[in-house]
């Protein structure tokens, strides 16, 4: 489905549906296509917002997790969203965490899936190998439990980014920034309700990372998904949507006095 990309000042974003804001932050090679099943489902229940993160447009000094978190803060302020359910996949989860630690006031809940911020297996020192399509294809397939999830369109997209020298330098800068920016000492400051949805077969941020997030974030719940890699919302959208919908509904139930 084609969605309209809106623009306000320098911010480009998608906004679909009405209700409580659900803001989605994509990862390093993320795109709107990563969230299509999620947008299609939740636009009937929430106002679904996807800011197009300027991963490759920022100047090199600000090409970092912190730079992206500042961008998200400015975006939420400009649009004046309140009571936001903030969801991030991979690098997007890391950005969501850094933003929430600095500016929790607009955030109602946090949803992390395959998030960096504690540990990740990067693409390796040799990455990205420019001009080697098969190598990029294999690396992209490793993101998923089922390699077929890495469609030709997705592989082509990653290949075109890595094959551009400036873009490749920025991708490496962001990946290194994510590795340096370890949040282990700070996560206990996050008091918001937090949902962790993790692929049991995630090789980039393996299951032990999810368990560590669960241990360090006080008000968190953890769901593992079988036969699933680093991007559950793409690979098992029905199960992901069901878990997320249940979590969001529970947040809005009146507290029972017992």
For residue 131, being part of any structural domain is answered with no
CATH code, domain with 245 = 3.40.50.1820
Q: Are 1 and 17 in contact (CB under 8 A)?
A: no
Cα gap 223→243, rounded to integer Å: 8
For residue 26, being part of any structural domain is answered with yes
From the list 56, 90, 32, the residue with the least C-alpha distance to 173 is 56
pLDDT in tens, 208-219: 999 999 999 999
Residue 7 pLDDT > 80, yes or no?
Answer: yes
Cα gap 25→52, rounded to integer Å: 8
Secondary structure class of 211 (helix, strand, coil): helix
Q: Are 86 and 99 in contact (CB under 8 A)?
A: yes
Cα gap 219→207, rounded to integer Å: 19
Secondary structure class of 224 (helix, strand, coil): strand
For residue 169, being part of any structural domain is answered with no
For residue 154, being part of any structural domain is answered with no
| CA 207 to the chain's CA centroid | 16
Q: Return the pLDDT at 123.
A: 47
Residue 258 pLDDT > 60, yes or no?
Answer: no
Q: Which domain holds residue 86?
A: 5-120+183-251
Cα gap 125→88, rounded to integer Å: 25
Cα gap 257→153, rounded to integer Å: 52
Structure tokens at 74: 């400015």
For residue 167, being part of any structural domain is answered with no
pTM: 0.94
Q: Count Cβ atoms below 10 Å from residue 161 Cβ, excluding itself.
A: 18
| Total of domains in the chain | 1
pLDDT in tens, 119-162: 877 644 444 566 789 988 998 999 999 999 999 999 998 899 88
Buried (b) or exposed (e) across 128-142, using 16+ Cβ within 10 A?
bbeeeeebbbebbbb
Give 254's DSSP letter.
P
For residue 192, being part of any structural domain is answered with yes
Residue 3 pLDDT > 50, yes or no?
Answer: yes
Q: In what order do the strands lie in the sheet with 84-89?
A: 5-8, 11-16, 47-51, 21-25, 84-89, 107-113, 194-199, 220-225
Cα gap 196→194, rounded to integer Å: 7
Q: Return the pLDDT at 6.
A: 96
- Please give the sequence-ordered ranges of beta strands (E in DSSP) within the chain, or none if there are none: 5-8, 11-16, 21-25, 47-51, 84-89, 107-113, 194-199, 220-225
For residue 130, being part of any structural domain is answered with no
For β-strands 11-16 and 5-8, DSSP reports them as: antiparallel
For residue 161, being part of any structural domain is answered with no
């Amino acid at each position: 489905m084609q969605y309209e990309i809106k623009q306000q000042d320098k911010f480009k974003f998608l906004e679909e549906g009405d209700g409580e804001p659900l803001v989605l932050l994509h990862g390093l090679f993320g795109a709107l296509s990563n969230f299509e099943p999620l947008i299609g489902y939740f636009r009937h229940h929430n106002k679904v917002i996807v800011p197009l993160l300027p991963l490759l447009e920022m100047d090199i000094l600000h090409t970092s997790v912190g730079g992206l978190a500042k961008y998200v803060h400015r975006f939420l302020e400009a649009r004046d969203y309140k009571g936001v359910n903030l969801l991030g996949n991979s690098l997007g989860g890391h950005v969501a965490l850094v933003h929430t630690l600095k500016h929790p006031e607009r955030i109602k809940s946090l949803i992390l899936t395959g998030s960096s911020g504690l540990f990740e297996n990067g693409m390796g020192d040799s990455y990205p190998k420019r001009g080697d399509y098969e190598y990029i294809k294999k690396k992209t397939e490793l993101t998923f439990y089922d390699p077929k999830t890495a469609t030709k369109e997705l592989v082509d997209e990653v290949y075109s980014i890595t094959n551009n020298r400036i873009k490749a330098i920025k991708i490496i800068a962001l990946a290194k920034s994510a590795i340096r920016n370890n949040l282990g000492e700070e996560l206990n400051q996050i008091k918001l309700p937090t949902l962790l949805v993790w692929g049991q077969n995630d090789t980039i941020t393996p299951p032990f990372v999810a368990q560590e997030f669960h241990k360090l974030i006080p008000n968190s719940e953890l769901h593992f998904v079988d036969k699933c890699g680093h991007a559950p919302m793409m690979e098992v959208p029905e199960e992901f949507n069901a878990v997320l919908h249940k979590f969001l509904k529970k947040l809005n139930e009146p507290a029972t006095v017992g």
